[in-house]
A and B are shown apart, each in its own frame.
Chain A
Amino acid sequence: MDAPDEQTTNLLELKGISKSFGEVRALEEANLTVGRNEIVGLLGDNGAGKSTLIKIVTGFHRPDGGTITWKGQPLEHLTVQRARDLGIETVYQERALADLQSLWRNIFMGRERTTRFGLLNVGAMRAETESLMVDFLRFTSQAVTPESYVGSMSGGERQGVAIARALHFEAELIILDEPTMGLSVTETRKTLDFVRGIKSAGKACIFIDHNIFNVHEVADRVVVIDRGRTAGQFKTSEITVTDLIGRMQHLAETGTLDGAPTAKAGV
């Protein structure tokens, strides 16, 4: 059994996070919590600050202000390595792949398996990539091997590589930034099934998507980011997708989520 505080504290808490890039204020006092085994959907317009918020969680950007708490412990000087050691895995919007390098080098990017003196354990990495390809990637093309260049793969395959990479390393929190962007309907289905798989595996997820239907479908809770601030949040069990869309439209027009006309059931 877990200790009591293991269950009561949130997995991740961001409080009052601010971040500027030169003159541009990307985030102003943004808040975000993720419970254990919870799927949180992030919604917001282009440039609202979603990706910046995510990159603060992954240690890529350092916030100008605010606190980050992981399992009740404050995190200071979060780096990409530290975030990964804690069990935060990310599928970036940009996919973060190296096109001219082989599949196995992409899977193990930044955390190569080594033997002594930093020498690569190429055999182990190829074998693990091989089994990932069988168990997870299920590439339809037989031509793909661990030595294949990632740049030669289709959009769906590349996305598969980015997700497989996040899945391969025992994560507790998986962050998916626009994972369905540029994917076909079938590939999008597969991705949403994958997010549900995270939930049933007892892990947590932050899910960002422009498509409100996708977010409403898989998320337990939706957090709305608007112009660098947290505008509000809803439990998806308590709001219909039509209502949610209405609220988002209202936000775009008035700058607030409150007071939106509630859509009638069945509309």
Chain B
Amino acid sequence: MFFRRYGLQSGTVLMAAVIFVILAVGSPITWLHFDIYSSLMSTVPVTQSGIIALTLTLVVIAGEIDLSFGSVMAVGTWVFISCHQPELGLIAGIAAGLGVGLLNGWIVVRFGIPSLVATIGAWFFWAGIVLVGTSGVGAGTPSGFVTNLLTGRIGGYVPAEMPWMFAFAIVLWILLNRHRFGAHVYLVGDNEQSARMMGVRSDRVRMGVFALNGAAAAFAGISATMEAHYFWPTVGSGAMLPTVAAVFLGGTSIFGGRGTIFGTFVAAFVIGAIEPGIVSLGLTGFYTQVIYGAVIVIALIVQSAVRGRAER
């Protein structure tokens, strides 16, 4: 009963365990010491955009996709930098991300454009805007109270990014599983027409998930920049592959209507461990992309097979 109900999550945890064993056996000096985990706890939530993977999970459950979040990270961070005051900049940056997300959602809903296409367009557009606005030149980051709040080291060891990712996961879990909005996210992704017939405001729900994803992207971009102490206009340009891979590896269905925050959370760390894992095993880092790509395709094949079985 437990495995039937939590089959996908069990699979995700099992996979994480297997990968851990492989890495621990292959390179015990790396994987049996705390340093690598300290490093993962700072990179997975923001640089590898695990936090965005969590909100992207809601987008995908709603039957949509957002590929523009890498650029939205840059937009939010650019606004943050431009404010020259970290607290104000954080709020303004997140607001900008929220705004871009809302615009994405509005374009998808209002004009009925598939979100895949609309957000690829947005991805290039906003990346271009930031490059034009900054002339492609980086900048130092203002630092202050929020720098410590977002990227400090708790007790000198644990990166603050980690509790932030936990906080996002808990809030999003409640939103998705214990709030009317989340119930509607599942319904819209499962059968949009049924949901509308039963009075679910599908347009609002879909705009809502895009807005959330935009805000999370800005938050992650700003945190990643604070961590690096320097703003690159190309921040977020490498975020797409690991983030999308984490969502699908975590068992969220590309067909919509099915997926969990828990699955994405675990999968984000599995994905995050791939690059250092490859290097620690003595292989060239070029394998990383190969594995990201393979993970996405294999996860989708497994989903399709599971879906076919469920429909019979």
Contacts of A147 in B (CB 8 A): 5
Instruction: List the one stretch of A9-17, A95-103, A220-228 in contact with chain B.
Output: A95-103
Check A151 against B310 for contact (C-beta < 8 Å): yes
Which listed residue (A109, A114, A117, A122) contacts B187, Cβ 8 A? A109
Instruction: List the one stretch of B27-35, B43-51, B190-198 in contact with chain A.
Output: B190-198
- Work out how many contacts link A and B, with CB atoms closer than 8 A: 78
- A97 to B197: give the CA distance in the assembly, Å: 10
Check B191 against A80 for contact (C-beta < 8 Å): no
Check B257 against A96 for contact (C-beta < 8 Å): no
Check A99 against B196 for contact (C-beta < 8 Å): no
Q: Chain B residue with minimal CB distance to A121?
A: B178
Nearest-CB distance from B169 to chain A (Å)?
A: 18
- A80 to B194: give the CA distance in the assembly, Å: 12
Check A118 against B190 for contact (C-beta < 8 Å): no
Is A110 interfacial (CB 8 A cutoff)?
A: yes
Contact count band on A: 20 to 34
Check A109 against B198 for contact (C-beta < 8 Å): yes
Check B186 against A111 for contact (C-beta < 8 Å): no
Known: A99-B191, A118-B181, A119-B178. A80 touches B197 (CB 8 A): yes
Is B291 interfacial (CB 8 A cutoff)?
A: no
Known: A98-B190, A98-B191, A98-B257. A110 touches B199 (CB 8 A): yes
User: A-facing mask of B272-312, CB < 8 A → 1, else 0?
Assistant: 00000000000000000000000000000000000000110
Q: Chain B residue with minimal CB distance to A98?
A: B190
Contacts of A151 in B (CB 8 A): 310-311
A window 77-107: CB within 8 A of B: 79-81, 84, 90, 92, 94-101, 105
Check B199 against A120 for contact (C-beta < 8 Å): no
Check A98 against B195 for contact (C-beta < 8 Å): yes
Chain B interface mostly: helix
- A49 to B145: give the CA distance in the assembly, Å: 64
Is A191 interfacial (CB 8 A cutoff)?
A: no
Check B199 against A80 for contact (C-beta < 8 Å): yes
Is A112 interfacial (CB 8 A cutoff)?
A: yes
Known: A80-B198, A84-B199, A109-B198. A94 touches B180 (CB 8 A): no
Check A101 against B190 for contact (C-beta < 8 Å): yes
Contact count band on B: 20 to 34
Q: Chain B residue with minimal CB distance to A81?
A: B199
Contacts of A98 in B (CB 8 A): 186-187, 190-191, 194-195, 257
Is B109 interfacial (CB 8 A cutoff)?
A: no
Contacts of B198 in A (CB 8 A): 80, 96, 109-111
Nearest-CB distance from B252 to chain A (Å)?
A: 12
Is A180 interfacial (CB 8 A cutoff)?
A: no
Known: A98-B186, A99-B190. A109 touches B178 (CB 8 A): no
Known: A118-B181, A151-B310, A151-B311. A101 touches B197 (CB 8 A): no
- A99 to B186: give the CA distance in the assembly, Å: 11
B window 198-230: CB within 8 A of A: 198-200
Contacts of A122 in B (CB 8 A): 178
Nearest-CB distance from A176 to chain B (Å)?
A: 14
Check A109 against B195 for contact (C-beta < 8 Å): yes
Check B197 against A60 for contact (C-beta < 8 Å): yes
- A112 to B179: give the CA distance in the assembly, Å: 9
Q: Chain A residue with minimal CB distance to B61?
A: A100
Is A129 interfacial (CB 8 A cutoff)?
A: no
Check B199 against A101 for contact (C-beta < 8 Å): no
Q: Chain B residue with minimal CB distance to A125?
A: B183
Contacts of A58 in B (CB 8 A): 197
Nearest-CB distance from B248 to chain A (Å)?
A: 17
- A259 to B193: give the CA distance in the assembly, Å: 42
A window 136-155: CB within 8 A of B: 147, 149, 151-152
User: B-facing mask of A16-39, CB < 8 A → 1, else 0?
Assistant: 000000000000000000000000
Nearest-CB distance from A75 to chain B (Å)?
A: 16
Contacts of A152 in B (CB 8 A): 310
Contacts of A149 in B (CB 8 A): 310
Q: Chain A residue with minimal CB distance to B310?
A: A151
Check B197 against A94 for contact (C-beta < 8 Å): yes
Query: Which one of B5, B180, B186 has the highest number of Cβ atoms from chain A below 10 Å of its Cβ?
Result: B180
Nearest-CB distance from B162 to chain A (Å)?
A: 27
Nearest-CB distance from A1 to chain B (Å)?
A: 34
Contacts of A111 in B (CB 8 A): 198-199
Residues of chain B whose beta carbon lies under 8 Å from any beta carbon of chain A: 5, 174, 178-181, 183-184, 186-187, 190-191, 193-200, 257-258, 310-311
Residues of chain A whose beta carbon lies under 8 Å from any beta carbon of chain B: 58, 60, 79-81, 84, 90, 92, 94-101, 105, 109-112, 114, 117-120, 122, 147, 149, 151-152
Q: Could you list 18 A-B pairs, sorted by A, with CB under 8 Å?
A: A79-B199, A81-B199, A84-B199, A92-B197, A96-B191, A98-B186, A98-B187, A98-B191, A105-B183, A109-B187, A109-B200, A110-B187, A110-B199, A118-B179, A118-B180, A119-B179, A119-B180, A147-B5
5 more contacts with CB within 8 A, not counting A96-B198, A111-B198, A118-B179, are: A60-B197, A105-B187, A118-B181, A120-B178, A120-B180
